């Protein structure tokens, strides 16, 4: 009886192993690469760079460590790819949000875009705001904020010139605005209260009206 149970257990184990091997064979190189990136992204967000390991990435992907090394060369390699991808996604999201419109609407669009990214790509944002021990091709989170600020700076420069303000102050105001939104986003990442639109409305309220002209109940004006 015991021998039959052991035999059935061995057969079940062989079938599971066979299924795993079959799934590995069916997955293309690009599919495997994407799978490893998705797993690594979640793991880096959960444990950070130091806490994550190639062993765990391989285990979660149900592959051997050499498969991970073959695609990325090591933990530093896969981490750099994850960071680069997240930075490009966030920058594209912010830049595309800065479409034509009233200056206040541009502020709202930028604030909502960042908060949307935090809400829908929480793991990615957690990775970006950590101190990265590995250089990526697109830089650091600080350099990403500088890229975003340069986009805002161009908009501010045009508005300042049109309204008679010194356009040389546009870089200062763009850095202040982007820094305010980014820092608030890091805070909101953990608390998630108030809701996204309310947070964006209060950010724009402060940026647009200033402390001396705050609206009591600010609302987002852009159409959804």
Band the pLDDT of 98: cuts 50, 70, 90: confident
How many angstroms separate the CA atoms of 194 and 105, rounded? 20
Band the pLDDT of 132: cuts 50, 70, 90: low
pLDDT digits (tens, 9 = 90+) for 45-89: 999 999 999 999 999 999 999 999 999 999 999 999 999 999 999
Q: Is the pLDDT of residue 215 over 70?
A: yes
3-state SS, residue 119: helix
Q: Is the pLDDT of residue 142 over 60?
A: yes
Instruction: For 69-108, give one letter per residue: b (16+ CB within 10 A) or e.
Output: eebbeebeebbbbbbebbbeebbebbeebbeeeeeebbbb
Percent of the chain with pLDDT over 70: 83
How many angstroms separate the CA atoms of 120 and 183, rounded? 18
| pTM, to two decimals | 0.77
- Domain 83-212 CATH class label: mainly alpha
C-beta neighbour count of 205 within 10 angstroms:
20
pLDDT of residue 69: 96
Q: Is the pLDDT of residue 2 over 60?
A: no
The residue extents of the domains of the chain are: 83-212
């Amino acid at each position: 009886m015991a021998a039959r149970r052991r035999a059935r257990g061995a057969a079940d184990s062989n079938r599971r192993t066979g299924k795993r091997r079959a799934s590995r064979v069916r997955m293309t190189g690009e599919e495997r690469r994407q799978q490893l990136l998705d797993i690594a992204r979640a793991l880096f967000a959960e444990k950070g760079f130091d806490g994550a390991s190639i062993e765990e990435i391989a285990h979660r992907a149900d592959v051997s460590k050499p498969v991970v090394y073959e695609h990325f060369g090591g933990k530093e390699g896969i981490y750099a790819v994850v960071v680069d991808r997240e930075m490009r996604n966030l920058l594209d999201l912010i830049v595309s949000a800065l479409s034509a419109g009233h200056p206040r609407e541009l502020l709202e669009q930028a604030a909502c875009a960042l908060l949307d990214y935090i809400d829908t790509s929480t793991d990615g944002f957690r990775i970006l705001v950590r101190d990265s021990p590995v250089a990526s091709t697109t830089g650091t989170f600080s350099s990403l904020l500088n890229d975003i600020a340069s986009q805002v700076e161009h908009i501010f420069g045009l508005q300042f010139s049109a309204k008679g303000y010194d356009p040389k102050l546009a870089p200062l105001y763009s850095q202040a605005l982007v820094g305010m939104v980014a820092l608030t986003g890091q805070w909101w990442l953990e608390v998630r209260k108030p809701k996204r639109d309310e947070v964006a409305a209060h950010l724009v309220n402060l940026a647009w009206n200033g402390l001396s002209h705050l609206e009591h109940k600010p609302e987002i004006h852009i159409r959804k």
